[in-house]
Homo-oligomer: A and B are copies of this chain.
Amino acid sequence: MTAKPPLAGITVLDFGQIYQGPYATMLMAKAGANVIKIEPLVGEPLRRRAPDGQSLPIAMLNANKRAITLNLKSEKGRALLIRMAKQADVLLENFAPGVMDRLGVGWDVLHAANPKLIYATGTGYGITGSDRDNQAMDLTIQAVSGIMSVTGMPDGPPMKAGPTRVDFMGGIHLYAGIMTALFERTATGTGRLVEVAMQETVYCSMASSMESYYRTGNVPKRTGNHQAALTSAPYNVYEANDGHVAINVVTEEHWQNLLGAMGREDLRGDARYETMQDRAAHMAEIDAIVTAWTRTLGKMEIFAAASRARIPAAPVRNVAEIMSDPHMHGRGMLEHIDHPQLGRVVLPNSPLRLHGAAKVAPTPSPKVGADNLSIYGDWLGLSAGEISEMRAEGVI
């Protein structure tokens, strides 16, 4: 066993912005990589929305990184990037397709400068093809990828998933693609152009709806909180006396356990509810039976009863509840950090747990350009005079 974290010694040039790119490089930083966040002089877009260039999302996704500024629109800035790329292992960007190529610092140029470099690009629709140049945001990819078509009430409009799920699916796929290329490089010695299109990362998550379409030939409709193909019951979100609780009966044992928990032994052996198929055919009745029970109890009481009885159930929790979750705090997934600009905040660690690996101590998200001196000086070897000249010229 080594005392070093898994990505110790790996240097990442991080042009990630907003959520997609920064999530990938945050995971790399938490695994011990040397992540250098590179921003335009005014900061990346997420900074510009935030007072003082800091916000909770900035702090969550840019912990354990160092930050420099670089003006890619200046020739000197591009020369600096090429010089940095020669010393780096990974470059990541989630600009619109073609941006880096038009600036003259795309994959071809950087690969020629450093054949070991892995260049990762995250986009909405990909860097080739007829839809390549459509503007892509989390909301629009949720629309075009089918997510909205199956989210929401049957009689309501198509609905987005509230969290920015597409950006984060893109980000974790970027991380996965980079790690695949890093692993391959240990055998070949050569880097790759790694490409992730957000649209493609969410395709498989529609599998249940695709199966329904394949079997019936009918385009799946929205089913509210019911299962996508309407073949499971109970499967819904039920009213508690203080909120809501999700219950998902998967096996016959779950159903028998639920009857016990509800005190409805009278329904054991009832032919209307005997099998999953029977229950799905009586979905409204089933929902009424379950609601008659849940409505009398608090959501945490139902959760506790369901846990005891081995029934898949969970309370619907809000943002305040998840940020203070004792389980995630106890496991070290969440911790309180004193952030120099934001004060005491709750920040996540990496959900990628390699047991026994060395941990990286948390450091707060840096200010824009906070590490110009150490990166351009100590790491790249520029003199103090060169650095201040470039600063004066607006290169950094």
Contact = CB atoms under 8 A, between A and B. Distances in A.
Nearest to A226: B160
Contacts of A175: 176
A149 B354 contact: no
B328 A203 contact: yes
Contacts of A311: 135
B149 A209 contact: no
A225 B157 contact: yes
Interface stretch (A73-81, A345-353, A359-367): A345-353
A216 to B, nearest CB: 11
Nearest to A171: B204
A55 to B, nearest CB: 5
B56 A163 contact: no
Contacts of A156: 153, 156
B56 A181 contact: no
Given A6-B184, A153-B156, A159-B151, A168 B204 contact: yes
A15 interface: no
A355 B204 contact: no
A188 B357 CA distance: 11
Interface string A295-317: 00000000100110011111111
B353 A195 contact: yes
A182 B182 CA distance: 10
Contacts of A246: 139-140, 142-144, 148, 160
A92 interface: no
Contacts of A165: 161, 165, 169, 202, 205
Interface residues of A, number: 144
Interface in A101-143: 125-126, 128-131, 133-143
Nearest to A200: B351
A201 B351 contact: yes
A6 B56 contact: no
Contact of A55 (B183, B194, B211, B220): B211
B322 A203 contact: yes
A45 B253 CA distance: 14
A355 B120 CA distance: 10
A99 B393 CA distance: 63
Nearest to A327: B131
A226 to B, nearest CB: 9
Interface string A316-355: 1111111100111011011000000010010010011111
Nearest to A163: B205
Contacts of A373: none
A348 B196 contact: no
Contacts of A368: none
Interface of A: 1-2, 6-7, 19, 23, 26-27, 31, 45, 55-57, 60-61, 125-126, 128-131, 133-153, 156-165, 167-169, 172-173, 175-177, 179-184, 186-188, 190, 192-197, 199-214, 219-220, 222-225, 227-228, 235, 237, 239, 244-248, 250, 254, 303, 306-307, 310-323, 326-328, 330-331, 333-334, 342, 345, 348, 351-357
Q: Give the top 9 A-B pairs by smallest Cβ distance, nearest first.
A: A150-B162, A161-B161, A179-B179, A143-B246, A200-B351, A140-B314, A135-B312, A151-B162, A163-B205
Given A60-B207, A177-B354, A192-B355, 8 more contacts: A26-B204, A45-B250, A143-B244, A157-B244, A168-B204, A194-B355, A212-B319, A219-B320
